[in-house]
Structure 1
Amino acid sequence: MSSDGGSGPQPGFDWRKAIADNQTLPAAGVEDHRTVRIGGIDQWVSVRGSHRDNPLLLFLHGGPGSPMMGESWSFQRPWEDFFTVVQWDQRGAGKTYRSNGRGHETDLTIDLMQADAEDLIEHLLERYGQQRLVLVGHSWGTVLGMRIALARPELLHAYVSIGQVVNMRRNEAVSYRRTLAIARERGDLEAIADLEAIAPYPDAAPLPMSSMLVERRWVEAYGGMIHALAQDDEVQRLRMSPLYDEFDIEATEHGALASVEALWTELMCIDFDEVRSLDCPFFVIAGAEDLATPAELAREMFDQIEAPHGEYIELPRVAHYAFLEAPGVVLVKLVQLVLPLASVDRV
């Protein structure tokens, strides 16, 4: 594979080095890229920030099995002026999947993943001498994020949700209905045939994972993942990453499917409909065009939850990946709404 994915500068240009050079942190900064022993296995983290006194922010990636460490170069550097940002390749994902070998992900459970996350939070707080951190969950990461906010709010300055999963079957039902409506409106016969073939979705029992993969194909094609793109080139971003090599990319591709398959039955039972309160600040960032985790359900959840502080932010012309599609807006919201809470907590 070429390092530029077949586009951009001429072959031989070292994208990874160029981007790494552009990511240089001040001398007072923090830059750790290492494994942490969590839950009996070595798990990879990247910790970066302009000053070690800044609040910690742990990013919980989606998937499950879809890490953001390799792509973080594309949006994260400005965050690092305000927060010490931790990217974590969860059990079954990316560099952690590669380090522990295939087959390890077969033992995945949501309880185990939550325990990993809580252990990592405690490790980070101790290592960097802080009492609490900001927790940002995206997509699958919002499942872990909500569970941690409910179970261990004392560890958090705030929980920030991007692409919140509310109730997996209701999420999928709304996603399917909206996607099929777009297909019919456009007269897209291929999409209509594909989507009608998996009906009743997601009410089939048992619901095969293959049905979700079919549905997600059209969610992506209609801009429901990244609104401006019918097909997102995630691999291109990974090939430009200073933190990933080709073996990490291959591991990411294998780990993503393996992790979803291992957790499939549990995933379809996720349900936060009865949550009414949180004992930590709660912020929701939703993309108005998100077909994977529809904003209407995230709004409904936010409105029913009492929390010490909070705000619901819905972004127009943005879908599932708000931090990629509107990185400046997301950062401004983190700095305006969340950073002051972290600063007050640390006085």
Structure 2
Amino acid sequence: MNGSTRRSLTLGLGAALAAAAAGRAGAGQAADEAPVDARKVIADVQALPGGIDELKAVEINGLKQWIHVRGADRRNPILLFIHGGPGSPMMPEAWSWERPWEDLFTMVQWDQRGAGKTYASAGGLGPQPLTVDLMLSDAKAVVAYLRQTYGREKIFVLGHSWGSLLGLMLAHAIPDQLYAYIGVGQAVSGRLNEEVGYRETLEAARRKGDQAAIKALEAIAPYPGAGPLDLEKLVAERQWDVALGGMRYGQDHAPEMPIWSLSPDYTEADLATASKGELESVMALAPQLPAVDLRSIVDYRCPIFFFAGVDDRTTPTSVVERYFTSLRAPKKRLFVMEHAAHYVVDEAPGLVLLDLAREVRPLAP
């Protein structure tokens, strides 16, 4: 879940979007002319003449799953983005930040099993029960598909939030297929992430003197506890995490749905089912996450890069920093970003891209 309506692609596009959102024509437009189609404007601005732009469903482990492959130069290395959630696709909001990245990488957005367009086209989660192992198998299959279809020996993988668990497991399992792994909002241990995130969110509420937040958070203690993850408590913790700026820096709400509604990649049918897919994915996978603990895996045979927001309390930066010191890799680097929380790629997309251009992109020929 990310994106920001603050960042327009151009001043002209910003005016067009504002006009469309207001239900009227753009500045200087005659009253009898048709209203601006904001999705078409975005698609036109982001056209890639001579590049690659493929939105398609491909068969992954017996289920048609949607990917969008975009890049300004077909010779650029592939970067697969594994989105978070579970069930929260990046594809419908990537238009708000991704275009400059497409000058350096061939970007691949993948709607996982149970998410976005894949959930919509499958009419649900698919025939198999959602498990962490199945999702990891899907991720491996997507990497294999991209390497075979586009003739690449290796690719880059970027995992965000829930997707960072899959991404780090990929880096350990198939290092010879990756130029590097990039973790953003990196999760390390399902239970530890929840324990520290809850504690830091409660501390933030106390510093702010927010009595409503303090009362609500204290009411769910102990969280997450020793047993299975309680989904009602999870929702309560996340509500205050968002409200106190631990999800998006300086914001107390989640703006993704308005951004999704402007995506050229999503139909109305996709939008209508996206939230349902996320809910069902969370219900299926969240109870399994406390058992996922990667702290014992410290040896990697591909380069590892982490990007963390100073204010991230969803996958707490304090946890990532401790884990980073313990891991061993041919090359490793931790970037801690000011004025950012959990969604670093769209909170500071230019700074992240600058670091990728300097440190990561040169690893590919």
Same fold (TM over 0.5): yes
Q: C-alpha displacement at 1:193, in angstroms? A: 1.7
* Cα deviation code 1:131-164 (max 9, x no counterpart): 0000000000111001111111111000000011
The equivalent of 2:67 in structure 1 is 45
1:253–1:274 CA distance, 2 compared to 1 (3 A): same
Query: Partner of 1:104: helix, strand, or coil?
Result: coil
AA of the residue aligned to 1:172: E
Aligned to 1:32: 54
Is 1:271 paired with 2:293?
yes
Partner of 2:246: 224
One-letter amino acid of the structure 1 residue matched with residue 66 of structure 2: W
Aligned: 1:13 with 2:36:
yes
Q: 1: CA distance between counterparts of 2:250 and 2:287?
A: 32
| Cα shift at 1:6 | 10
**1: CA distance, partners of 2:124 / 2:171:** 31
Q: Does 1:153 align with 2:166?
A: no
Which residue type is aligned with residue 202 of structure 2? L
Structure 2 residue identity aligned to 1:324: D
SS of residue paired to 2:291: coil
Q: Work out whether residues 19 and 36 of structure 2, in 8 Å CA contact, stay in contact via their aligned partners in 1.
A: no
Q: Distance in 2 between matches of 1:105 and 1:158?
A: 33
State the distance in 2 between where 1:320 and 1:295 align. 9
Which residue in the other structure is 2:150 paired with? 128
Contact 1:52-1:84 at 8 Å conserved across structures: yes
| Pair 156,177 (structure 1): closer, same or farther in 2 beyond 3 Å | same
Q: Is the 8 A contact 2:20 2:38 kept in 1?
A: no
What amino acid is aligned across from residue 144 of structure 2 in structure 1? E
C-alpha spacing 1:56/1:103, structure 2 compared with 1 (3 Å): closer
Q: Deviations over 1:281-307 (max 9, x none)?
A: 000000000010111111111111110
The superposition leaves residues 148-203 of structure 1 with CA deviations (integer Å, 9 ceiling, x where unpaired) of 11111111000000011111111111111111112222222221121111110011
Give the distance between the partners of 1:78 and 1:93, measured in 2 at CA.
25
Looking at structure 2, the residues matched to 200 and 106 of structure 1 have their Cα atoms a distance apart, in angstroms, of 33
Structure 2, gaps ≥5 residues long: 1-15, 25-34
Query: 1:278 and 1:114 mapped to 2: Cα distance?
Result: 17
Deviation for aligned residue 1:260: 1.0
Tell me which amino acid in the other structure corresponds to 2:227: A
**Residue 5 of structure 1, CA deviation:** 9.8
Report the Cα distance in structure 1 between the residues aligned to 2:139 and 2:294, rounded to whole angstroms. Answer: 19
Q: How many residues align?
A: 340
Tell me the distance in 2 between the aligned counterparts of 1:335 and 1:90: 27
- Residue 292 (str. 1) matches residue 301 (str. 2): no
Q: Does residue 60 in structure 1 map to residue 85 in structure 2?
A: no
- Shift of residue 105, structure 1, vs aligned partner: 7.4
In structure 1, the gaps of 5 or more residues are none
Partner letter of residue 49 of structure 2? P
Match of 2:350 in 1: 328
1:311 to 327, 333, 349: 333
The offset of 1:26, in angstroms, is 2.5
Q: Distance in 2 between matches of 1:207 and 1:172?
A: 9
Structure 1 residue aligned with 2:46: 23
**d(CA) in 2 for partners of 1:148, 1:37:** 19
- Superposed CA deviations along residues 226-264 of structure 1, whole A, max 9, x for unmatched, are 102111210111011110122212222011110011112
2:65·2:113 contact (CA, 8 Å) conserved in 1?
yes
Over residues 42-80 of structure 1, what are the superposed CA-to-partner deviations in whole Å (9 max), with x where a residue is unaligned? 000000001111000000000110000000101111111
Q: CA deviation at 1:205?
A: 2.7
Alignment match, 1:281: 303
Over the aligned positions, Cα root-mean-square deviation in angstroms equals 1.7
1:211 alignment counterpart = 233
Over the matched positions of the two proteins, sequence identity in percent amounts to 45
Counterpart CA distance in 1 for 2:152 and 2:106 is 11
- Matched to 1:133, the amino acid is I
Secondary structure of the 1:107 match is: coil
2:48 is aligned with what amino acid?
Answer: L
TM-score normalised by the chain length of structure 1: 0.94
- Say which of 86, 90, 93 aligns to 2:115: 93
TM-score between both structures, scaled by the size of structure 2: 0.90
Note if contact 1:61-1:139 (Cα within 8 Å) is conserved in structure 2. Answer: yes
Deviates more, 1:104-113 or 1:164-173: 104-113
Map of 1:180 onto structure 2: 202
Cα distance in structure 1, aligned partners of 2:17 and 2:233: 33
Q: Which residue of 1 aligns with 2:4?
A: none
Amino acid at match of 1:154: D
